[in-house]
Amino acid sequence: AFLLNRSSDLSFTQGRYLGVESSAAVYGSYCYFMDNNCNLVCLDLNTMQMVWVFRTADDSDLSPVVQEENGIPYIYIGTEVDNQSSGQYNGAAYTYKINGLTGEEVWQTSQSCYTYNGETSATDQSGGCVGNPIIGMGNISNLVIFSYSMTDGLTSGNRLVAYNRDTGTEVWHYDMNIYTYSSPVACYTEDGNAYIIIADNFGQIHLVNGSTGERITYIQVSSAASGVTFEAS
């Protein structure tokens, strides 16, 4: 991360005007968002000046997820596999925990995913983190859970990974045969037991034990021939 003291200091953009495809996350007067040049930006909404910028290892369209821990906001963000090579290839989807006040990296980890960079953006099909993570509560309050798409090949495989929020150490993972662009959703019983729901691009909805990563059941809501897929969260 590096500090920007003037709103006119845009040298990190490499001379380009940049788009933003993520939604913004706000904590107090700080606004966090990802731009299209791998920059996680912290903007002070009172002064409209940038506070810090953290450079991720690849592109991300995710919305930053903010969680306050011991009075400090932390940002959780993951990347696609997008800018590491050309054509069809296997690369690393990176996951970060960032101090939201300073822009300092707390931990980083990654999972292997496939992707395809075509001759035009219309033919691209990016693997990696394409759905927002879960910040656990209840009996998984120590976990953050990310979804990684295309872990077994182009348009094949998906992996849910639960990390310890303090250390970034993997606690469990759940492998799916079909890839997905949907964000996982956490549901909780009255006594705080967590269950994860995620849909895939083959018309299936999975129910997973949030503390162990074991599949409880799944529902096939359409036949393969129907072409019904889930992409929304």
- Under a CB-based contact definition with an 8 Å cutoff, are residues 46 and 93 in contact? no
pLDDT tens string 63-103 = 999 999 999 999 999 999 998 998 999 999 999 999 999 99
Report the relative pairing of strands 215-220 and 204-209 from DSSP bridges: antiparallel
Query: Could you give the percent of the chain with pLDDT greater than 90?
Result: 78
Q: Residues 169-182: what's their mean pLDDT?
A: 96
Q: Is the pLDDT of residue 11 over 50?
A: no
Least confident of 75-84, 99-108, 117-126: 117-126
- Residues contacting residue 16 through CB under 8 Å, at least 6 positions apart: 37
What's the pLDDT score for residue 224? 61
- Which of 197, 200, 233, 232 is closest to 216 using CA atoms? 197
The pLDDT score that the predictor gives to residue 75 is 98
128 vs 112: CA distance, rounded Å:
8
Concatenated DSSP letters of 122-180? GG-B-EE--SPPEE--GGGTTEEEEEEEEEEETTEEEEEEEEETTT--EEEEEEESS--
- Which of 47-56, 103-112, 193-202, 215-224 is predicted least confidently? 215-224
Q: What would the two tokens of residue 219 be?
A: 């529902």
pTM attached to this predicted model: 0.89
156-174 tens-digit pLDDT: 999 999 999 999 999 999 9
Per-residue pLDDT averaged across 222-231, rounded?
75
Instruction: Give the pLDDT band (50/70/90) at residue 124.
Output: confident
pLDDT value at residue 89: 94
Alpha-carbon distance 21 to 9, whole Å?
Answer: 22
pLDDT-derived band at 2 (thresholds 50, 70, 90) equals: very low
Tokens of 142: 């120590």
Nearest CA to 77 out of 57, 96, 104 is that of: 96
